[in-house]
Structure 1
């Protein structure tokens, strides 16, 4: 059985970059190296352009071992294709940017051999363009449950978000939640946890629907996330320097529920002739 999981691409790969531009002068750059989102330039409330993809982002790599995708402009977007070594499966990814600032990322896997699939889109964002941390970003996640992890980041149980720093059912500043005296937060050095945004008990995929949103009051930029997946991983990336720990980027990564992956949930295993599709969309706009 072949396993398809995210991985950082090899630095030695030769690759091309593709740029998409919409009517609002937003630009998105996609790389063949790992099929990654490399930059997303957009205006703030004063019309100043900045790249909201955090410099330390891994992008949207969807396969291991590291691989070079073949890309081309197609249908107003970018289409990328990868043949998995050994001929187990063919993977396709597409990026499309519309004039409303919505970047839609779709994946399609066609299996020739039994294949365990976990596709993930994991760009890291900073809506102020990196001029400051993300502490004042207001985050909202439509989730009643999250997954507790051990020191190695492995899932150990499911807990209700109520009464914890993981309760983002109403908008809350990320920085304030990072300062809560919580064992899960201190153990991970911040957030790196899965939230259930689909039906907690059924799992599986659903229709494309909005599951999270983030607002930066300084720039006025607002990011909305939609997905067909049952869960999302919220991460707050950080860096250390002369001062205290500063969280410089956040990630909202759509994926399958972690215990379903570990238990080889049937829908994640493709048999010869079967296909798997996943869609995630991020919409970037301005809010008063």
Structure 2
């Protein structure tokens, strides 16, 4: 396949609109497939230490399950990634209510988040540019938000994701990318070795909502400051792991300064030698160990069993609109939301 960006049809939405898939290819042969529906990354093909390529992203072969059954496989998330407690917040003295779609809480933008809308797509040189206008009141959020996402694939096997947004009224914004990875190309992810550059994580309650406490990772199953297998302590008798059914927590990244681009995480799969590094400007990264995958979903020749994929979602902290001690997530008119994350793939001998 020639380097560049190719466009092809992928399916038709129930309302008759056509969905396209864009294939980004670099000179090294790495390829990434992205839909204009949900900005979804459907495939990521990278080599192992012997040069054998495999698809390391969980996803589907067809459009329909992305519209109905997907647990956010590969999707862009907005207007607010992660949970907002009871779907409520107060901003500038006004109370807002959002759809509740995760127990008692609002999750990942609601019942019709950015993962389930058709983005306007165009190719700009080496970038796939996606745009979406979220109307005032959509999913309960105030203000008209114009969001832009730029995807590119570097020659260093790095997927670059650049977000920007502007609004005409103050509104919470927390955009992220929600790919599920399996660097072995199949099986579970418990043997993957993870490093997270985080001295603390956001403690949660039984409803997976932050308590407001940033808990020290030292001496806990959450200490990934040195690489260790994801499965090493995932079943430990730990209250926080019990709440999440495993890891489903936002880690507080060690950053020299706000908005600095730092390496947040490194994952190595020892059998294939594949390595994934995440670099981000965000203050946190949600690490999710696929605890709710149960074998009921199938795609691309795989059955997505328990803990067969992991997520590293760069983002601000959950429930920040209700947590005054957390970094700000309110975008105001005249300001521009901008953030960048990079997913870099390599191999170790």
TM-score, L = length of structure 1: 0.88
Structure 1 residue 61 corresponds to structure 2 residue 65: no
Residue 88 of structure 1 contacts residue 114 of structure 1 at CA under 8 Å; is this kept in 2?
no
2:278 to 225, 241, 247: 225
Deviation digits for residues 241-280 of structure 1 (CA, Å, limit 9, x no counterpart): 6xxx841011111111235343366842222222110111
Which one of the candidate residues 209, 212, 218 is aligned to 1:162?
218
- Identify the residue that residue 196 of structure 1 maps to in structure 2: 252
Q: Following TM superposition, by how much is the alpha carbon of 1:125 offset from its aligned partner in structure 2, in angstroms?
A: 0.4
Change (3 A) 1:44 1:266: closer
Partner of 2:243, secondary structure, is helix
The corresponding residue for 2:99 is none
Are residues 1:38 and 2:76 paired? Answer: no
Equivalent of residue 256 in structure 1, options 316, 321, 332: 316
- 1:170-249, aligned counterparts within 5 Å? 170-198=226-254, 205-238=258-291, 239-240=293-294, 246-249=306-309
Q: Distance in 2 between matches of 1:197 and 1:144?
A: 7
**Could you tell me how far apart the structure 2 residues matched to 1:142 and 1:110 are?**
30
- Report SS of the residue matched to 1:212: strand
The answer on whether the counterparts of 1:18 and 1:73 sit within 8 Å (CA) in structure 2 is no
Partner of 1:47: 51
Shift of 1:218: 0.9
Unaligned runs of 5+ in 1: 1-9
| SS of aligned partner of 1:15 | strand
**Structure 2 match to 1:276:** 337
Q: Is the Cα–Cα contact under 8 Å of residues 198 and 229 in structure 1 kept in the other structure? A: no
Q: 1:162 to 1:267 in 2, by over 3 A?
A: closer
Q: Secondary structure at the match of 1:162?
A: coil
CA distance in 2, matches of 1:112, 1:223: 37
Shift of 1:206: 1.6
| Alpha-carbon separation, structure 1, partners of 2:318 and 2:72 | 22
Counterpart selection for 1:133 from 163, 184, 188: 188
Residue 158 of structure 1 and its aligned partner are, at CA, apart by 1.9
